[in-house]
């Protein structure tokens, strides 16, 4: 299906900006309209920026006047601080989505809707299966924050696709995105000189490189398959392993203290790790991406481990524990052994 006039929400944040820029550079795209509440900080090519709050019906006017045929809804905010508090975040995430969907429903031109969601909707619990497939129900629903918003957003999107079955709806559930420009709680978490972990737990984490996220979104905008897809890099990392790869010393914190610590950290603006995400630090989460590869037809170029390594490299994280020193120490010890033996042999 030809996609000519595209509306992108959330263009003032890195992923949205990347998508808008890539679409603007594509010759098959006639118009790109970017929407956000704040102007984008970087150049978006020929993207027309409309400063609009998707929470009010103005968005419908934009869609009608520009005769938008493809809507990319990327305006799902994970970070309450960025949105100006949890209430504002929820407003933008949930009410904004409702308004946007209402506008799309009334539109005659829209034929494709791509919604960015997250694997957070699967929650994190010890009773989780090893890998979630798209049609599994979460064992414990996310109780608040980002995950809960995403669950509600997906609920409205499902309702929308029931009412407008002629519009192809693609829901992309992204794993935690790491990449050069990404400023997510997880990225900041790994930038600490020492990394707090939950004592006695070592979760499996799954990551997605931002370039893969971009590629998947562009493919969906260009007419990928409708449906719901988990999007994540192949394989997993254990949190301990990731911390070791970043050369950081972990600091285990007992489970009960973790939420208060994270609350304190958010209040002090050190890191914004929502307390409801603590479950993730204990139990982790991993998803099955078979459907992405086989139905959607995209294989992420970065595995989880590669995405993490490139994140460490691109951010220029200076390892507290330098792997080269570890190798040198190993060599020195081996040499010592050899010397000792040689002396005793002669």
238 binds other proteins per the rule CB under 8 A:
yes
For residue 247, state whether it binds other proteins (rule: CB under 8 A). Answer: yes
Residue (of 119, 150, 157, 113) closest to 136 by Cα position:
119
Given the rule CB under 8 A, which of 82-90, 107-115, 163-171, 329-337 is the region that contacts other proteins?
329-337
Residues 6+ apart with CB under 8 A from 332: none
Report if residue 87 touches other proteins, rule: CB under 8 A: no
Residues with Cβ within 8 Å of 36's Cβ and at least 6 positions away in sequence, in order, are 9, 10, 11, 12, 13, 16, 49, 51, 52, 75
Is 264 or 336 the residue whose CB approaches other proteins more closely? 336
The answer to whether the CB of 96 falls within 8 A of the CB of 37 is no
287 DSSP assignment: B
By CB under 8 A, the residues from 254 to 283 that bind other proteins are: 255, 283
Choose between 295 and 327: whose C-beta lies nearer to other proteins.
327
Among the residue ranges 30-38, 46-54, 106-114, 330-338, the one whose residues contact other proteins (CB under 8 A):
330-338
Alpha helices in the chain (DSSP H): 14-25, 58-66, 80-83, 86-90, 96-106, 145-163, 185-191, 210-221, 239-245, 255-267, 278-283, 290-291, 304-315, 323-345
CB of 125 vs other proteins, minimal distance in Å: 8
Q: Near other proteins by CB under 8 A, which window of 73-81, 146-154, 271-279, 328-336?
A: 328-336
Nearer to other proteins, 72 or 232 (CB): 232
Closest C-alpha among 102, 78, 73, 103 to residue 10: 73
- Between 198 and 237, how does the x/- string for binding to other proteins read (CB under 8 A)? xxxxx-x------------------------------xxx
Q: How far is the CB of 278 from other proteins (least distance, A)?
A: 13
Distance CA 189, CA 185 (A): 6
- 145: region left, alpha or beta (phi > 0 left; psi from -120 to 50 alpha): left
Shortest Å distance, C-beta 302 to other proteins: 15
| Residues within the interface to other proteins (CB under 8 A) | 126-131, 133, 136, 198-202, 204, 235-238, 240-245, 247, 255, 283, 286, 321, 323, 326-327, 330-339, 341-343, 345-346
């Amino acid at each position: 299906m030809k996609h000519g006039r595209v509306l992108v929400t959330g263009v003032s944040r890195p992923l949205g900006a990347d998508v808008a820029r890539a679409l603007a550079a594509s010759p098959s795209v006639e118009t790109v309209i970017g929407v956000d509440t704040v102007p984008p900080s970087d150049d978006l090519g020929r993207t027309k920026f409309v400063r609009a709050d998707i929470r009010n019906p103005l968005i419908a006017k934009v869609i009608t006047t520009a005769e938008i045929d493809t809507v990319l809804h990327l305006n799902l905010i994970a970070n309450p601080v960025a949105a100006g508090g949890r209430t504002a975040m929820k407003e933008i995430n949930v009410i904004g989505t409702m308004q946007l969907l209402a506008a799309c429903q009334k539109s005659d031109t829209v034929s494709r809707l791509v919604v960015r969601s997250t694997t957070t909707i699967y929650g994190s619990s010890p009773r989780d299966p090893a890998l979630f497939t798209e049609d599994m129900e979460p064992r414990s629903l996310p109780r608040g924050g980002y995950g809960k918003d995403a669950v509600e957003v997906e609920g409205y999107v499902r309702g929308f696709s029931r009412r407008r079955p002629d519009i192809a709806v693609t829901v992309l559930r992204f794993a935690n995105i790491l990449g050069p420009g990404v400023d997510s709680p997880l990225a900041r978490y790994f930038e600490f000189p020492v990394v707090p972990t939950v004592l006695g737990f070592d979760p499996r984490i799954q990551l997605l490189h931002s370039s893969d996220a971009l590629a998947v979104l562009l493919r969906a905008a260009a007419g990928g398959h409708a449906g719901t897809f988990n999007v994540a890099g192949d394989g997993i990392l254990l949190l301990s392993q990731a911390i070791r790869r970043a050369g950081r010393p972990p600091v285990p914190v007992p489970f009960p203290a973790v939420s208060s610590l994270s609350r304190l950290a958010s209040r002090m603006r050190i890191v914004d790790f929502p307390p409801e995400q603590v479950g993730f630090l204990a139990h982790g989460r991993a998803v099955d991406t078979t459907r992405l590869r086989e139905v959607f037809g995209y294989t992420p170029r970065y595995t989880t481990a590669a995405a993490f390594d490139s994140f460490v490299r691109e951010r220029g994280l200076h390892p507290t524990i330098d792997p080269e020193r570890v190798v040198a120490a190993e060599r020195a010890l081996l040499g010592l052994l050899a010397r000792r033996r040689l002396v005793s042999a002669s």
